[in-house]
Structure formats: C-alpha cells, structure tokens
Amino acid sequence: MRGRFFLLPLETGHQDGEDWSCLFTLTQVVEVVGRSTKVYPVPFSPACLPGYILRWDTVIPVVDVERLCGWVKASNVRMRQMLVIRTGQSAAAGGEFARLAIACTGNVSTFTLGEREAGLPVEALEAPEGFDGHGLARGFFRVHGRRVVLMDFDALAQGLVHIPAGQRMRGGSPPVRGVSAE
C-alpha cells in the first residue's frame, strides 16, 4: 500500500484517547468542499443522510458516518467539510461513477506512504463500537501511527448498508427506497 491518501477524522465519542480516521485513496476523492456548501434536507430521510448537495449539475447525497454508527447525536454535529468521493457503483445515466459526499466534523488531512513506509507492518485492530452489523466496514488497522477504518461506500451507494432502528428516520416516516433498515 503506497501512494497519497486522505484521512477523514471520525468523532467516535470514545474516551480511550485515540481517534479513528476513514481512509480514502487519491483516486476515490473528487473534491473537498467547505461548510459554506448548502446541504438541502430531504424529508423523511434517515438521520445519517442529512440531505444532498448540488455539484456540477448533479445531486450528490450527503452521508454522516458518525450518525450512521451512532457515535454522536444529530444535535451535536457541526459539519466542517465534506469529502466528495466516487464509488465503484456506476450511476444509471451516462455510465459515470456514483458520487457521495461524506460529512466531516474535523479537518480532512492527507499523507503519503512512500517506499520506506510501505514496507512497515500494518497492525490489524478490532472493530470499534458502532460498526457491528452495518455492512459498511471492510477492515480496521493501524498505519503510520493512526487508527484507520476502511469503509465500503460502494455498498452504501447500492443501499446494502443496514441502518439501525434508532437511526432510521426523522419524524417517524416511512422507509426510504434503496436504504435498508431493520
């Protein structure tokens, strides 16, 4: 594993002194957008899908991983940035890759793993609380001194991620098509 990567810090709410970050490759990231970008709310959507943004004449859903995992309450979240990523799931129109905007309460950072760092051992870690049964996480490890989670955003784009009953809908609304729930 070498190259340039983006790290999106996750507010897990754990008191163990270490935070987790979500890892994205350079080819996944389309753009980093600031909080001045308007998020349009979607009525009856899950709390972990706070709305959508308009970029390049395209509607892009906004995903809040911290809410999806139940780490922070919706009222405690103050979004700073969004990381617009392309997923491996092809959008219906034009054959382009589907895009998601991943909400971030911290600042997105970058780092590079060169030849020297690529040979360092990667320590596998146990899943943090909140990732049980979602179908979102692919792996947990420590690299470059950071705790990192790899997430399957393709599964999220396809509606294959499980949303717990407590996170399901705002206002007791009916299920959203394409998003699975208990």
pLDDT digits (tens, 9 = 90+) for 10-41: 776 665 656 788 888 888 888 888 878 888 99
Per residue in 159-176, pLDDT (tens digit) is 666 665 555 444 433 443
Range of the domain at 105: 3-167
Token pair listed for 47:
């709390």
**103-134 confidence digits (pLDDT tens):** 887 788 887 776 665 666 677 788 776 665 56
Looking at the domain assignment, is residue 62 inside a domain? Answer: yes
CATH number for 16: 2.40.50.180
pLDDT of residue 111: 78
Whether residue 177 is contained in a domain is answered as no
Mean of the per-residue pLDDT values of the chain: 73
pLDDT at 170: 46
Residue 90 CA to residue 107 CA, distance in Å, equals 28
State mean pLDDT over 133-162: 75
Identify whether 181 is part of a domain: no
How high is the pLDDT of residue 142?
82
Q: Report the number of distinct structural domains present in the chain.
A: 1
Q: Is the dihedral of CA 85, 90, 91, 95 positive or negative?
A: positive
CA distances, 122 to each of 85, 144, 145, 166 (Å): 25, 8, 10, 35
Token pair for residue 78?
């103050």
pLDDT at 3 over 70: yes
The answer to whether residue 179 sits within a structural domain is no
Q: Is residue 81 part of a domain?
A: yes
* pLDDT score recorded for residue 105: 77
pLDDT value for 176 = 38
Q: Which residue has the tokens 């990567």?
A: 5
Tokens of 94: 């034009």
Nearest to 147 by CA among 127, 165, 167, 129: 127
Average pLDDT of the segment spanning 127-149: 74
Nearest to 100 by CA among 51, 144, 140, 162: 51
In a domain, 110, yes or no: yes
pLDDT at residue 127 in the model: 75
Between CA 148 and CA 67 the distance in angstroms is 18
Q: What is the pLDDT of residue 177?
A: 38
Q: Does residue 175 lie in a domain region?
A: no
pLDDT, position 117: 59
* pLDDT given at position 162: 61
Q: Decide: 68 and 13 in contact? Cβ < 8 Å.
A: no
What is the pLDDT, as a whole number, of residue 16?
Answer: 61
Pick the more confident residue, 156 or 85: 85
